[in-house]
A and B are shown apart, each in its own frame.
Chain A
Amino acid sequence: MSGPLQDWKSQRKPFAAVASAPVFWLALFFIAPMAIVWLYSFGQNAGPADIDISGTLDNYKRATEWLYLSIFLKSLAVAALTTLICLIIGFPVAMAITFAAPKWRPWLLLGIMLPFWTNLLIRTYALMALMGTNGYMNKGLGGLWEGASWLRTLVGMQPLEAWTPVQLLYNNFAVVLGLVYVHLPFMVLPLYSALDRLDKSLIEASLDLGAGHFKTFMQVVVPLAAPGIVAGVMITLIPALGAYLTPDLMGGTDSQMIANVIERQFKRANDWPFGAALSFLLIYAMFILIALQSMRSNKVKELR
């Protein structure tokens, strides 16, 4: 081989050799199945197990009715709220790991990644056991309540009323909490990798030159961590938008998200063409998000 592998234009053959396996993999296991589902979205049921791909746009027409659009918007709102909370919680966590003593850092990172070793379903059930009417959270709160009641009787006051369990599960609060719990590592890891590369002398310079801690954070740390923030937001928002297990298990009667609706089309309703149309609307929305982000980062590059 002549020269280092730096530009595919001058090194076509080795790059083709390296790229062919993943390209083949993508084509066979990603593009081909997605293409079939895409074709289904232009079809209609022609029997319990047959789909007639007729080129109809009815599925898309139905999918853009207000009923489904409103569920899309609601899912987007839930996912955005989840992402925002993840960002607010995740940023200090990532900063703490960055500024921790080097010997602690691998352990802290391991702590962030540890939940991934357990299946999502099992983690969700664990959370449900914690948050149920007779779960540990309610038991703990009930214990505190009774303690307070006992203290009141000690000082001669009326005891408190009997403890009534708090409704933690089966509502939108539970869905957001469950989604934050599941997606937090997705936010922390890219933030950590961005903050880790940050030149700490810039922070010192800012502090030395008279900026306060908050100003330094907002005007130095956050702008420098921007690529990590954008990456973290994208990889939290997109899976949260497609979440269906958490709303199914932890949500109440009005917690359905768009992925639950899609799942039901493929299963109970047995309406694959409509489910395919809904899925592709979601995929188009994500494409737009990603395109906007890459346009934005191109612009940033041009400015520099």
Chain B
Amino acid sequence: MDFKTFLHAGSNRRAMLKGMGVAAVGFSLTGALAGCGEKEAAKLANGEEAKLNFYNWDTYIGETTLEDYKDKAGVDVNMTLFASNDELFAKLRAGNPGYDVIVPSNDFVERMAAADMLVELDKAQVPNFKNVAPDYQDVPYDPARKYSMPYTWLALGIGYRKSKVKSVPDSWKVLFDSDAYKGRIAVLSEAGDMFRLYGKYMGKSVNGLTDADIKMIEAMMIKQKPNIKSFHEDNGQDLLLKGEVDLVLEYNGDIAQIMAEDSDIGFVIPKEGSQLNSDNLCIPKGAPHPKNAHAFINYLLDAEAGKKITETILYPTPNDAAKALMPDDYKNNQVIFPPAAVLAKCEYAKFNPELQPKYEEAFTRVRAA
């Protein structure tokens, strides 16, 4: 079977769909990639063929970014999508099936680095690293940015419907420890995030929970459960927008997107502080086009390219040069860029292989209770 016809039929949409069908019935990406012609593919100056396989989240790139890059560098970027870090990790844990650039979150950068799954980045090939805000040039989850470049960052907080709350819900108490909004609350179904944020509510570090804390938090969660409507799968913004709930635990970027559609929606990072997340560009070990991958990461960190991406996805950008090009209503948006005093109380969650199964089991108990 000639995969080339599927994958490189240019603008022929039906052939594209057929190609996707082939992928869906389980042909591995490697098979598909091995099939595409080594003979005709133009070699670039760096000695690699003009191709790149980009594994990204859905709706997480500028509308024209990939085409712009093709015009600029002549490299065909083949983007496939994943829906969660777990999916990304599961795909790569048995060996890289052919991806060049991936976008793991901070704790998965740590996890994959610990599992020796990432290539050390050659900073000389990524000069646009200078565009990155100083806060993101050196981060606890990847000291000195050995394996990753920042793409976006996020903070968890409370999205709410302004007309349905008595006052701004600026404490985790309204979600975690109160029946004031009984049946109108949705929180995350991710056990780790939930336990860490409860820890934050109790004045602890997100990375400093002990077994006794987990036990206590579990009891608090069981007590609060009747007041919760749903443990959502990171689709809290939809629940809030549709009016299913009035308060939701979500990321600021997700709420910023629906605030553009509905002016009755607000967002606040609780005064106790919160948890930060960051998505990062990495090159997995075994990437077939490592030089193209460096060049592509460099392009994504470019000011103009970064601006176009940010315009589409509306997430906070760690790229200062791109941010400078953005309009004031983005730069000064307190949801997208929370005040420094609030951010000072936020932390990144560390990858912790011992605690994660404990969080999961405790959360299973909460759900079964």
Contacts and interface: CB of A to CB of B under 8 A. Distances in A.
Given A48-B114, A67-B365, A67-B368, A269 B357 contact: yes
A50 B229 CA distance: 37
Contacts of A134: 242-244
Contacts of A68: 364
Interface string B250-262: 0000000000000
Contact of A253 (B84, B117, B230, B353): B230
B115 A49 contact: yes
Contacts, number: 83
Interface stretch (B53-61, B86-94, B145-153, B168-176): B86-94
B244 A132 contact: yes
Interface string A165-199: 00101100000000000000000000000000000
A182 B86 CA distance: 27
Nearest to B26: A29
B368 A170 contact: no
A127 to B, nearest CB: 14
Given A268-B192, A269-B360, A253 B368 contact: no
Contact of B364 (A167, A264, A270): A264
B270 to A, nearest CB: 21
Given A71-B364, A133-B243, A256-B368, A267 B230 contact: no
Given A48-B114, A267-B84, A256 B360 contact: no
B231 interface: yes
Interface in B89-137: 89-90, 93, 111-112, 114-115, 117
Given A268-B190, A268-B192, A47 B115 contact: yes
A149 interface: no
B242 A132 contact: yes
A248 B225 contact: no
Contacts of A265: 360
Given A132-B244, A266-B90, A253 B114 contact: no
Contacts of B364: 67-68, 71, 256, 261, 264
Interface in A31-45: 45
A270 B354 CA distance: 11
A10 to B, nearest CB: 38
Interface in B315-369: 353, 356-357, 360-361, 364-365, 367-369
Nearest to A134: B243
Contacts of B229: 170, 252-253
What band does the interface of chain A fall in when counting residues whose beta carbon is under 8 Å from B?
A: 20 to 34
A70 B369 CA distance: 10
B244 A169 contact: yes
Contacts of B230: 170, 252-253
Interface residues of B, number: 34
Contact of A49 (B86, B117, B243): B117
Contacts of B286: none
Nearest to B183: A167
B356 A48 contact: no
Contacts of A167: 183
A208 interface: no
Interface string A243-283: 00000110011101000010011111111001000000000
B71 interface: no
Contacts of B115: 47-50
B112 A48 contact: yes
A259 to B, nearest CB: 13
B233 A248 contact: yes
Contacts of B114: 47-48
Given A133-B244, A134-B242, A253-B230, A270 B112 contact: no
Contacts of B191: 264, 268-269
Contacts of A264: 191, 360, 364
B353 A254 contact: no
Nearest to A50: B115
B309 interface: no
Contacts of B314: none
B360 A253 contact: no
A13 to B, nearest CB: 31
Contacts of A169: 244
B281 interface: no
B74 to A, nearest CB: 35
A253 B242 contact: no
A248 B189 CA distance: 10
Contact of A256 (B183, B192, B367): B367
Contacts of A50: 115
Nearest to A65: B361
A59 to B, nearest CB: 11
B117 A270 contact: no
Interface in B208-230: 225, 228-230
A167 B361 CA distance: 29
A81 B183 CA distance: 26
Nearest to A167: B183
A266 B190 CA distance: 14
Given A70-B368, A267-B87, 11 more contacts: A48-B93, A49-B89, A67-B361, A67-B365, A71-B368, A169-B244, A256-B364, A256-B368, A267-B86, A268-B192, A268-B356
Interface of B: 84, 86-87, 89-90, 93, 111-112, 114-115, 117, 183, 190-192, 225, 228-231, 233, 242-244, 353, 356-357, 360-361, 364-365, 367-369
15 contacts: A48-B114, A48-B353, A49-B117, A133-B242, A170-B229, A252-B230, A253-B225, A253-B231, A266-B86, A268-B86, A268-B192, A269-B356, A269-B360, A270-B353, A271-B357
